[in-house]
Amino acid sequence: MGTLIKGGKVVSAAATTLADVLIEGETIARVAPGIDAAGYTIVDATEMLVLPGGVDVHTHLDMPFGGTVSADDYEWGTRAAAIGGTTTVIDFALQSMGHPMTEAFKTWRAKSEGKACIDYALHMAVTDLGPNDEWLDDVDAMVAEGISSFKIFMAYPNVLMVNDATIFKLMQRTVKLGALVCVHAENGTVIDVVVQQALAAGKTGPLNHALTRPVLAEAEAVHRVVAISELAGGASVYIVHVSCEEAMREVKSARERGLPVMGETCTQYLVLSIEDDMGKPGFEDAKYVFTPPLREKKNQAPLWKALRDDVLQVVSTDHCPFRFTDQKTLGVGNFTKIPNGGPGIENRMQLIYHYGVNAGRMSLERFVEVTAEVPAKIFGMYPRKGVLAAGSDADIVVWDPEAKYTITAATQNMHTDYSIFEGFEVKGNARQVFSRGELVVEDGRFIGSVGRGKYLHREVLRR
Ligand code: URP
Ligand code: ZN
Ligand code: ZN
């Protein structure tokens, strides 16, 4: 006996159609209008949208960073994701300097096993190729383990940053394998000088985090890494968390030249800004200390347009939560000690639906494209994830387009004592969420079991 989601509007990147969705076991058996309901458990989706489960390809769960550990582990982070309509996440395994990538892979598999509430995959964040580049071979080993994307940081000197030589060597290898390189693009050494100058001038408050990371430092790094990818023979590159018009233009120009360059932005850069959300009294701005920082409001419209025009392909969250009271406060008196990152895994679908679709900034189909279908494609999980089609995993969101919801820390499921979207009123929310055929969320409550989420083995894509 299966479950029939009946009478809803099924949305894909291509079209929105009135159809029923039949779930048998963990997969979708049929999507068609007027499926005979006899013998099935019926979910009435009249007036509802039926969406593929969201795919968030940029999260940091249980991650040691900034002298502490991100506040959501795999259980809490994936539970919050599911409640918000996201059914797949890709998190980062972080290679420690002086240690092989294989070790990081084991560590992150142990962190996630038995905890994840939805399916998940891993990128490998590369920090060290070894004294004689011997860990370059780990790249092949990781691909064999289902990691088809590697992350490099051009920022955070002495912590995560790699130099251009490392980037070049890594890309020479990924080109051969067909793997993807994800890039945190910011000129870390220049930023470091600006930061030291600010501290020397007595500028220690949280707003200085934003003021010391200029947009040009981001744009320069995008430009440079694109050039390195060309030098390496045409490596596929995915620029993470594009936050400003200048960096977006570099992605645009690379794509206009036909290079295999893609980019994401994150919810926070689309709906928050320095003017609206920072400059608060006391230490409050620390809640908005993430990297790249919030930008001036004038960047929002170009980022929305870039999403519409396929200059950017994905909206992710960069969910990297830290509590205010005992984590962000590590940086009182010195903004460089504030753990960088913010919570958002729960709110991405709500916010992009409301400020994108409801506000007329993107079509419903494009919403599904940037939140589910394209991330699944780019990261080697399609058509298992990202689409409602026969044979795909039954990761399905029954979305109530009229449901009104006010985002607040008081009721959120993420483990922070604040929300960067506090008080935002949105229309449109997940009513039911299925993960591999199992109803895991009903009316804002997680009803699945902890640890049911499976590790996803991802394929490399020859681009
Ligand atoms: O501030 C952020 N974004 N923290 C997480 C690490 C990163 O740079 O993505
Ligand atoms: Zn980053
Ligand atoms: Zn990140």
pLDDT in tens, 244-254: 999 999 999 99
Which of 340, 345, 420 for mutating ligand 1's site (highest number of atoms within 8 Å of CB)? 340
Residue 57 Cα to ligand 1 middle (Å): 13
Which of 320, 336, 345 for mutating ligand 1's site (highest number of atoms within 8 Å of CB)? 320
Tokens (6 digits) for 209? 């985090």
Instruction: Answer whether residue 278 shows pLDDT above 90.
Output: yes
Residue nearest to atom 2 of ligand 1 (CA): 341
Per-residue pLDDT at 463:
54
Residue 239 Cα to ligand 1 middle (Å): 13
Please report the atom of ligand 1 found closest to the CA of residue 60: 5
Tokens (6 digits) for 253? 């120009």
Name the average pLDDT for the chain. Answer: 98
Residue nearest to atom 5 of ligand 1 (CA): 341
Which one, of 315, 205, 312, 206, lies nearest residue 271 by Cα?
315
Which of 318, 327, 335 for mutating ligand 1's site (highest number of atoms within 8 Å of CB)? 318
- Over residues 230-243, the pLDDT tens digits come to 999 999 999 999 99
Cis bond before residue 383 (omega within 30° of 0): yes
Average pLDDT over residues 60-67: 97
Per-residue pLDDT at 136:
98
Average pLDDT over residues 344-363: 98
Average pLDDT over residues 416-437: 98
Residue 35 Cα to ligand 2 middle (Å): 46
Could you give the C-alpha distances from 461 to 133, 175, 178, in angstroms and in order? 25, 11, 6
Residue 127 Cα to ligand 2 middle (Å): 13
Which of 60, 191, 420 for mutating ligand 1's site (highest number of atoms within 8 Å of CB)? 60
Per-residue pLDDT at 1:
81
Average pLDDT over residues 306-321: 99
Query: Strand 261-266 vs strand 314-316: parallel, antiparallel, or unpaired?
Result: parallel
Number of the ligand closest to the Cα of 342: 1
Residue 290 Cα to ligand 1 middle (Å): 6
Question: Residue 427: what are its φ and ψ, rounded to 5°?
Answer: -120, 125
Number of the ligand closest to the Cα of 338: 1
Residue 399 Cα to ligand 2 middle (Å): 30
Instruction: Answer whether residue 210 shows pLDDT above 90.
Output: yes
- Over residues 12-32, the pLDDT tens digits come to 999 999 999 999 999 999 999
Residue 202 Cα to ligand 1 middle (Å): 25
Instruction: Answer whether residue 8 shows pLDDT above 70.
Output: yes
Number of the ligand closest to the Cα of 65: 1
Query: Strand 396-406 vs strand 314-316: parallel, antiparallel, or unpaired?
Result: unpaired
Per-residue pLDDT at 332:
98
CB 7 within 8 A of CB 18: yes
Ligand 1: does its nearest atom lie under 6 Å from the Cβ of 290?
yes
Average pLDDT over residues 333-352: 98
Instruction: Answer whether residue 402 shows pLDDT above 70.
Output: yes
| Nearest-angstrom CA–CA distance, 456 and 175 | 22
**3-state DSSP assignment of residue 168:** helix
Per-residue pLDDT at 461:
82
Please report the atom of ligand 1 found closest to the CA of residue 341: 1
- Over residues 44-53, the pLDDT tens digits come to 999 999 999 9
Residue 59 Cα to ligand 3 middle (Å): 6
Question: Residue 264: what are its φ and ψ, rounded to 5°?
Answer: -120, 155
Please compute Rg for the chain using Cα positions: 21
Please report the atom of ligand 1 found closest to the CA of residue 291: 1
| Nearest-angstrom CA–CA distance, 349 and 33 | 26
Sequence-separated (6 or more) residues with CB below 8 Å from residue 411 = none
Which one, of 98, 172, 174, 90, lies nearest residue 139 by Cα?
174
Instruction: Answer whether residue 99 shows pLDDT above 90.
Output: yes
Please report the atom of ligand 1 found closest to the CA of residue 153: 8
Residue 125 Cα to ligand 2 middle (Å): 11
Residue 241 Cα to ligand 2 middle (Å): 7
Task: For tokens 């919810």, name the residue.
Answer: 267
| Nearest-angstrom CA–CA distance, 185 and 155 | 7
Ligand 1: does its nearest atom lie under 6 Å from the Cβ of 318?
yes
Which one, of 58, 54, 57, lies nearest residue 11 by Cα?
54
Please report the atom of ligand 1 found closest to the CA of residue 289: 1
Ligand 1: does its nearest atom lie under 6 Å from the Cβ of 341?
yes
